[in-house]
Structure 1
Amino acid sequence: MDTTENLLEQAFPYILWSMLTLIAFGYRLQELHASNGKNPLPNIAACRNGSQDEPTIKKG
């Protein structure tokens, strides 16, 4: 019984999960950097107001 192979079988899900997490964080960081600090994700309230920046509350 090879202990190295057994260790890799046990650690594989953790290695895979950490790699995917790092890729996701890197992609999110790149999106934030490309948007100059503005939120790159679609903002429903801002779209309804016709603005690309932070949403504003309209009274009346």
Structure 2
Amino acid sequence: MDTFTIVKRDDEAAFGGVYRTKDLILDIYDRMENARVAGDEYRTVLDPPPGKGPRHAV
């Protein structure tokens, strides 16, 4: 994630030195891994979820 220098710079400027995008992505990876270990289905935090929304037929 640190290779995305512009995103990192903008996040740190906007969020008081915190690379928020990196933190959010790593949190989602942790949630996916926890679901895998527990044998549960991962439920996305994205709204709308992938494959849904105005660009996709209902």
TM-score by length of 2: 0.41
* Structure number with bigger Rg: 1
TM-score by length of 1: 0.39
Higher relative contact order (CA 8 A, sep 6+): 2
